[in-house]
Structure 1
Amino acid sequence: MAKDTFYITTPIYYPSGKWHIGTCYTTVVCDAMARFYRLCGRDVFFLTGTDEHGQKIENNAKKAGVTPMEYIDPIVADLKSIWEMLDISYDRFIRTTDADHVATVQKVFKKLYDNGDIYKSEYEGLYCTPCESFFTESQLVNGKCPDCGREVHYEKEESYFFRLSKYADRIIELYENNPEFLQPKSRVNEMINNFIKPGLQDLCVSRTSVKWGIPVEFDKDHVVYVWIDALSNYISALGYGSKDDSLYKKFWPCDLHMTGKEIIRFHAIIWPAILMALGEPVPKRIYGHGWLLVGGDRLAKSKENTSSELVDPKEIVARYGSDALRYFLLREIPFGSDGVYTNETFLNRINSDLSNDIGNLVSRTTAMISQYFGGKLPAIKELTELDNELVAIMNGLYENVSAAIAEINVPKALAEIFKLVGRANKYIDETMPWVLGKDPSKKDRLATVLYVLSEAIRCSGILLLPFLPKSAPEILACYGIDASDKKLFESLSFGKLEGGIDVVKARPIFPRIDVKKELADVSAMMLERHNKELKAAAAKEKAEDKANEPKFEEIAIDDFAKVELRVALVTACEKIEKSKKLLKLSIDLGYEKRTVVSGIAEYYAPEELVGRKVVLVANLKPAKLCGVESQGMILCSDDGDAVNLVVPAEGAKIGSRVR
């Protein structure tokens, strides 16, 4: 096994809401691959982190009445606690607010500017704040952001631009000459047909309307926009452009950028172009995986979970353990495609694979060694054809798993391991050791069967270490194997266990779950939670409504008595030519006729008003509006959306007072 390097990254996550299992998906996959290659003897650097600048965070912090750092620090701390809970073994957690990252971004921006790849101009267009992206009219879907489906708004400001259009041909050439660069292969056609062929536009890379970001060093009115800021984390974490760039020299180019399909174009088009402009190597591979769907929709931090499905990783780990969640994400989701999460599929997968398959194999085998050989592993005797069939699977297992990992097909890697586990369970049924144990003349055969089974457990347990970092060591501990031994992968062939070693009877590592009962319990819990949330939301809305009630200065009854309100009849009405909002009304008060100008032309046509009774402020000082003298004011209600006439009760006489 070659002792070379392996650099793997997750995208950096945006701390703007509540984390969910969809956030965990990419990171758990990257962690499993990082752990696997460490056990292969490779020098691994695993990077993850958070993207902490931008307008959305600035707005959220302002709304919360705190600084941006005060807003994001607890959210980032929460994410780190989730990674700890899920045994994520990153080598660095980078934050784009880190001082070394800020310095690198400023150097990258300056270098691109000095090279002529960045220039100043003016940007105007449609902007999506949550996605921090500009779009043309043609890119919108039903008038909304094509990525998140939210509203966009028009913005115009002075900006610096990166000459992305300059690199279109080189990016296509990169795809053609490096078929492994962008995977799965369907993503290549997507990038070319949807983005490159229609024509790459130069990229806005600075903002003046946003203050929460990295300042452009030579133009302090501008902050660096997300593309150069966020994407540069992959090299700033390695010390690119710093006095100590030893990690950069050691690990760059990156072996694998793992990212969701919604941001693949940033990694597969913008990032390579930036690196080309810097004169640096591009990553070796970029993989755009699918989404985790709940109720047919993609999970998003900004969306409330109104289903009965558990999506909070902390809750799932608390109920079922971290390895259960890791295993589901790694095994159930077809890599490269979208996967579906439901409480039921999760529980069934855990029962089927972890409880029934590996759990039963370990508990049955160690129990029989305890029963028939006093807890000592029997030495192997003569192997039969049936034994050799299982041995062959063991001996080829590492190669098969390694090939699947190299293809970035983690579900396939786990399927290979569980092929051995499944075959070993079938082997138990075929050899019937409980029958052999009753016949003293079959003791040697029983010894061989239990030894072969123990080797199947050892091989599968070792290869499960990257995927189940809590449970796999417990499996290996039954045979006295130290899971921290970095050379375990070198022992992945049959016959490494020594006869006579102590074997500990395993406890139920994955207790079987009563799915029907658990689903009912979870549904009841989620229903109760939703009801509480609805009540809390209603109470909050009521409190906000009360707080937002207009405050008026109190007046005395004598003040109100000064206002002369009269019932009047509209006898004629016409539009005022010079105005879109004003109508000229002829009013009959019974005792006199007047002309009144009213700003209700957007809500009423002139013919709608003729013959209607209205309430008139009759002692208002006359005023000229668009050249017409108005001798009073008619009363209307205004709720912010619509304006409606205040109408006297039926039978009210013209000229009568309103009080």
Structure 2
Amino acid sequence: MAAMSKPYYVTTPIYYVNDKPHIGHAYTSLATDVLARWKRLEGQEVFFLTGTDEHGQKVEKAAQDAGMDPQSFTDRVSQSFRVLAERMGFSNDDFIRTTEPRHKAACQELWRRLADRGEIYLGAYEGWYAVRDEAFYGPDELIERDGVKYAPSGAPVAWVKEPSYFFRLSKWQDWLLRYYEDNRRFIAPESRRNEVISFIKGGLSDLSISRTSFRWGIPVPGDEAHVMYVWLDALTNYITAAGYPDESHPRWKFWPADVHFVGKDIIRFHTIYWPAFLEAAGLAPPKRVFAHGWWTNEGQKISKSLGNVIDPLALIDEYGLDPVRYFLLREVPFGNDGDFSRAALAGRTNGELADALGNLANRTLSLIQRNCEGKLPAPIENPHLMHDTTLHSGISDLREKVGKALEDQQFHSALEHIMFEVRYANSYITQMAPWALKKTDPVLMLQVLRLLHDALRVFGTVLWPFMPTTMDALLDQLGVPKDQRKLADLATPLPGGIPLPPPSPLFRKIELAA
């Protein structure tokens, strides 16, 4: 299958380096990784970007609290996000840091372009500012408790007054609403789309895009008393990595991005500020922004004060990488909030991975070893002549069903489609009892085992983006050559007679302490 014409660009948000990685970071990057891997299986040229957001007052303060200069602090914390990407098996093509020279150059060029087009002016800002969110809030958005004002996020706010450059965001209000209407898929899920539209209809003010009260940021071109607002700086990373401002760069073909994955707390920045900045600069906006929900831990809100932050690396050490990858995208619809529980992780791992998929593979391959001299039975020339074609038609349709679900970022639906067919294959092997057919109908036995092998090949291929290490092991046991593991290769049956290695367990069951 030839590569499709439009290269595919998918991104995580860049993660703020004021603290070490947690389950939320792993979750967003995992979704991005699975989609990138799937698109590669489809034969597309893919660019997958992640990285770290390293400027701003919050980072400057965190560095001071750690007794470090900001660059040394960001060097250390940024490395922990690289380690997370490696340990989680993410297939990112680049890791961007906003302290890199290429990013400074891109931000300053974007600023100059906006200024040249009359989109920026100098004024003064007064307003309620949350250092934790790096954001200003209107009086009607604030919550007051015990005489202290808080942002909707729960961050405390303080009244700030300082000179500032402004971006003419109010000018783009009507354009944004038209853009959302003309591009219905731009914001997902629908609940977030409605939230953003409602916010804009309440009226947009011009946006303060520079600060003078701290120094840890990218200097404003021509006025180095100001540093750029952290969100103008951070959002620009997506075009920096694509080669901006050099639009002849080989990576520029990937822009506009196909999907930005973000947490729901930063949806406004990505769906209001970012497309407005780009359109104002004469650049194409991204095609889609998907905002996922938040995790709780055993029913409790996750917070450092409660001491219940979930460390994804500790989870991997305890339960294995692929079961954790599978669980995070299987347990709740992507876009909804979800609860992490060890009992649920054990239930998915034991019931769906070990008992359903792992047991199916072990039974099928063990029967081939015992009854077919360890060699793959010949392809079924006309499966429609078999007495039961349900399994064959189910696996034939699976690629399309999974692809459609992933195109809409419905990861849980994609996995449910797969597990439905896995469960059916288990009922099929039990019903057909190929271990008994050797004496009564050896021809049918060969057909049954071949069909089950074909089904496992499909399962191993479509599950590979979710669990690459384990599915590579399954495809090895199935005798699938390493250069024949794309989706298009499923159309070509493996020849009969291939010697298959003895099977070995794919998953270990999780035993929880009583």
* TM-score normalised according to structure 1 size: 0.74
Inter-CA distance 66–284: structure 2 relative to 1 (3 Å threshold):
same
Within 2, Cα distance between the matches of 1:401 and 1:154? 50
May I ask how many residue pairs the two structures share in their alignment?
507
Residue of structure 1 in register with 2:260 after alignment? 257
Match of 1:107 among 81, 106, 109: 109
Confirm whether residue 46 of structure 1 aligns to residue 43 of structure 2. no
List alignment gaps of at least 5 residues for structure 2: none
Which residue does the alignment assign to 1:371?
370
Judged with a 3 Å threshold, the aligned counterparts in structure 2 of structure 1 residues 46 and 65 are, in CA distance, closer, same or farther, namely same
1:354-369 alignment, distance < 5 Å: 354-369=353-368
Tell whether the 8 Å contact from 1:22 to 1:299 is kept in structure 2 after alignment. Answer: no
Residue 503 to residue 304, structure 1, CA distance change in 2 (3 Å): farther
Contact 1:479–1:502 (8 Å) recurs in 2: no
Q: CA deviation at 1:115?
A: 1.6
1:489 lines up with 2:487 in the alignment = yes
Q: Distance in 2 between matches of 1:81 and 1:421?
A: 34
Q: For residue 199 of structure 1, what is the aligned residue in structure 2?
A: 203
| Alignment check: 8 A CA contact 2:278 2:284 kept | yes
C-alpha separation in 2, matches of 1:181 and 1:486:
35
Q: Which among 503, 506, 509 is matched to residue 506 of structure 1?
A: 503
Cα deviations by residue, 1:112-147 (Å, 9 ceiling, x for unpaired)? 122211111111111111111111221112354434
Q: Is the 8 A contact 1:473 1:482 kept in 2?
A: no
Cα-to-partner distance string for 1:174-214 (whole Å, 9 max, x where unaligned):
01111111111222221121x21221111111110110000
Map 1:180-259 → 2, pairs under 5 A: 180-193=185-198, 195-242=199-246, 244-248=248-252, 250-259=253-262
CA distance in 2, matches of 1:207, 1:113: 17
Aligned pairs (5 A) from 1:432-443: 432-437=433-438, 439=439, 441-443=440-442
Equivalent-residue separation in structure 1 for 2:84 and 2:234 (angstroms): 22
For 1:404 and 1:99, the matched residues in 2 are separated by 39
In the alignment, residue 422 of structure 1 is paired with which amino acid? Answer: R
Question: Distance between the aligned counterparts of 1:129 and 1:281, measured in 2?
Answer: 31
Distance 1:147 1:507, change over 3 A: farther
Distance 2:150 2:505 in 1: 50
Q: Deviations over 1:304-356 (max 9, x none)?
A: 4534xx82111111122111111011211211211111111111111111111
Q: Distance in 2 between matches of 1:252 and 1:63?
A: 39
Structure 1 gaps, min length 5? 521-659
- Could you tell me which residue of structure 2 aligns to residue 319 of structure 1? 318
Quickly say closer, same or farther: Cα 1:297–1:171, change in 2 above 3 A.
Answer: farther
Q: CA, structure 1 residues 328+36, in 2 after alignment: closer, same or farther (shift >3 Å)?
A: same
In structure 2, the residue corresponding to 1:7 is in which secondary structure?
A: strand
Q: Residue 492 of structure 1: SS of its match in structure 2?
A: helix
User: 1:131 is matched by which residue type in structure 2?
Assistant: D
Instruction: Say if 1:292 and 1:340, in contact at 8 Å, map to a contact too.
Output: yes
Q: Which amino acid aligns with 1:417?
A: I
Range that drifts further, 291-300 or 11-20: 291-300
CA distance in 2, matches of 1:500, 1:482: 14
**1:75-90 → structure 2 map (5 Å cutoff):** 75-90=77-92
Q: Distance in 2 between matches of 1:168 and 1:128?
A: 24
Q: How does 1:136-535 map to 2 (within 5 A)?
A: 136-142=138-144, 144-193=149-198, 195-242=199-246, 244-248=248-252, 250-299=253-302, 303-304=304-305, 306-307=307-308, 311-380=310-379, 383=383, 385-437=386-438, 439=439, 441-483=440-482, 485=483, 488-493=486-491, 496-515=493-512, 517=513, 520=514
Q: CA deviation at 1:243?
A: 7.2
SS at match of 1:220: strand
1:64 aligns with 2:66: yes
Deviation at 1:252, TM superposition (A): 1.2
Preserved contact between residue 461 and residue 486 of structure 2 (Cα < 8 Å): yes
Q: Residue 467 of structure 1 aligns to a residue in which SS?
A: coil
CA displacement at 1:429 relative to structure 2 = 1.0
Instruction: Report if aligned partners of 2:346, 2:509 keep a CA contact under 8 Å in 1.
Output: no
Aligned to 1:601: none
Secondary structure of the 2:123 match is: strand
Could you tell me which residue of structure 2 aligns to residue 572 of structure 1? none
Give the alignment partner of residue 134 of structure 2, picking from 132, 135, 152.
132
* AA in 1 matched with 2:389: N
* Relative contact order higher in (CA < 8 Å, ≥ 6 apart): 2
The alpha carbon displacement at 1:412 in A equals 1.1
Larger deviation: 278-287 or 373-382?
373-382
Q: Which amino acid aligns with 1:153?
A: A
CA contact (8 A) 2:33 2:90 kept: yes
Alpha-carbon distance, 1:513 to partner: 2.0
Q: Paired residue for 1:652?
A: none
Question: Within 2, Cα distance between the matches of 1:78 and 1:148?
Answer: 25
Q: Distance in 2 between matches of 1:447 and 1:79?
A: 49
- Amino acid paired to 1:242: D
Q: Which residue of 2 aligns with 1:582?
A: none
Percent identity (aligned): 43
Offset, 1:378: 2.3
Partners of 1:472 and 1:223 in 2: CA distance: 48
Q: How far apart, CA to CA, are the structure 1 residues paired with 2:301 and 2:47?
A: 30
Cα separation, 2, equivalents of 1:85 and 1:19: 12
Note if contact 1:161-1:206 (Cα within 8 Å) is conserved in structure 2.
yes
Query: What SS class does the counterpart of residue 47 from structure 1 fall into?
Result: strand
The residue number in structure 2 matching 1:549 is none
Counterpart amino acid of residue 460 in structure 1 = F
Letter matched to residue 487 of structure 2: F
Q: Which amino acid aligns with 2:214?
A: V
Conserved? CA contact 2:262–2:289, under 8 Å = yes
Q: 1:461 to 1:371 in 2, by over 3 A?
A: same
Alpha-carbon separation, structure 2, partners of 1:380 and 1:284: 42
Report how far residue 386 of structure 1 moved. Answer: 4.7
Q: Is the 8 A contact 1:50 1:76 kept in 2?
A: yes
Q: CA RMSD in A?
A: 1.8
Q: In 2, Cα distance between the equivalents of 1:99 and 1:454? A: 52
Q: Residues 363 and 505 of structure 1 are in contact (CA less than 8 Å); yes or no, is this contact kept in structure 2?
A: no
CA distance in 2 between partners of 1:128 and 1:190 (Å): 21
Distance 1:506 1:212 in 2: 56
Q: CA deviation at 1:434?
A: 2.4
The answer (yes or no) to whether the contact 1:330–1:411 under 8 Å persists in 2 is yes
Question: Which whole-Å deviations, capped at 9, do the CAs of 1:381-407 have from their partners, x for residues lacking one?
Answer: 685645421111111111111111111
TM norm structure 2: 0.95
